[in-house]
Amino acid sequence: MTDETRVATAPAEVPAAERPAGGERPSGGERPSGGDRRGFRPGTAGGPRGDSGPGGRKYFRRKKVCKFCVEKIEAINYKDIRLLAQFVAESGKIVPRRLTGVCTPHQRRLSSAIKQARNIALLPFAGRAS
């Protein structure tokens, strides 16, 4: 389960390059302590909520956006397997909104389209398409 969710979130998140280089100080880098921390990682200074005081976020996470809203895709059709397959995990499950960032109205259409595609054997119910 955990393995699968990690796979699904990976493309939606900012790669590790945004994170501070903790190689120099493996233990100190993790625990923020005063002004030292600010000077330590200048790379994240531009982030919106990257360094919000001690005990804040450890690393920067990009805001997820709805693919359908951004690319103005209105037609979510059960025949468009390429589109639907992006929102189906390896196991055949529909990837939840919290991982993909799809907005509620679009997720509703998406899930019904995926279910229709499953019915007509375009997408698997479980497991990979054989």
Partner 1 sequence: MNRTYELMFIVRPDMAEEDQDKLISTLEAAVTSSGGQVKNVERMGKRRLAYTVRKFHDGIYLLLTVEGSGGLIHELERRLRVTEQVIKFLTVRIDEEQKRLDKIKALREARRKTSPPPAEVASDAPAATA
Query: Which residues sit at the interface with partner 1, rule CB under 8 A?
Result: 74-75, 78-79, 116, 118-125, 129-130
The nearer residue to partner 1, 27 or 104, going by C-beta atoms, is 104
- In order, the DSSP letters of 65-113 are --HHHHTT-----TT-HHHHHTTB-TTSPBPPHHHH---HHHHHHHHHH
The nearer residue to partner 1, 14 or 73, going by C-beta atoms, is 73
Q: How far is the CB of 124 from partner 1 (least distance, A)?
A: 4
Report residue 42: phi and psi, to 5°.
Answer: -75, -20
Q: How far is the CB of 72 from partner 1 (least distance, A)?
A: 8
The nearer residue to partner 1, 44 or 111, going by C-beta atoms, is 111
Q: How far is the CB of 71 from partner 1 (least distance, A)?
A: 14
Which tokens hold the place of 26?
């493996």
The nearer residue to partner 1, 102 or 123, going by C-beta atoms, is 123
> How far apart are alpha carbons 118 and 121 in whole angstroms?
5
Number of alpha helices (DSSP H) and beta strands (DSSP E) in the chain: 6, 0
Q: How far is the CB of 78 from partner 1 (least distance, A)?
A: 7
Which tokens hold the place of 130?
């054989």
